[in-house]
Amino acid sequence: MSQGFDVTQGIYTLTTPDENEFIIARDTEGVPVALFFTSQDKAEKYLQAMKQTQAKVLHLEGRDGVLEITEDLLDGGVKEAFLDQAPRTRKPTVLDLEDWLSKQPEYNEAGPV
């Protein structure tokens, strides 16, 4: 249930200043983790907290945008995303990207291996 989020609104993520790469965090074991935000405000507050003034907030629109970034991240070896889903939670939800993608009705390809 915690992995359900409204993708019809799209998702916000962070890119490098030239927008060539996504900004990726690392979990406590050093594993790369994507950053997903449900609002532009949350993404900008994260950048301020990290003192990242050069990074940019990217809005991936609707379900197609979320599916696209999820596929790109999985292709790049990133398997999880921190989803800042609820304003009252300090700890982000950890989203298993492969699992989430496999549950999407529009995702009709071969799916996860």
Q: Residue 113: pLDDT above 80?
A: no
Looking at the whole model, is its pTM more than 0.85?
Answer: no
Percentage, residues of the chain above pLDDT 70 = 83
d(CA 22, CA 112): 22
The class (CATH top level) of 7-102 is: alpha beta
3-class DSSP assignment, residue 93 = strand
Q: Is the CB of residue 95 less than 8 Å from the CB of residue 80? A: yes
**31-60 pLDDT, tens per residue?**
999 999 989 999 998 888 888 778 999 999
Partners of 14 in the β-ladder: 57
Task: Report whether 46 contacts 14 (CB < 8 A).
Answer: yes
Q: What is the pLDDT of residues 60-95, one digit of tens each?
A: 998 889 999 999 999 999 999 998 855 566 677 888
Distance (Å) of CA 102 to CA 11, 23, 29: 18, 24, 25
**Does the structure show a pLDDT above 50 at 104?**
yes
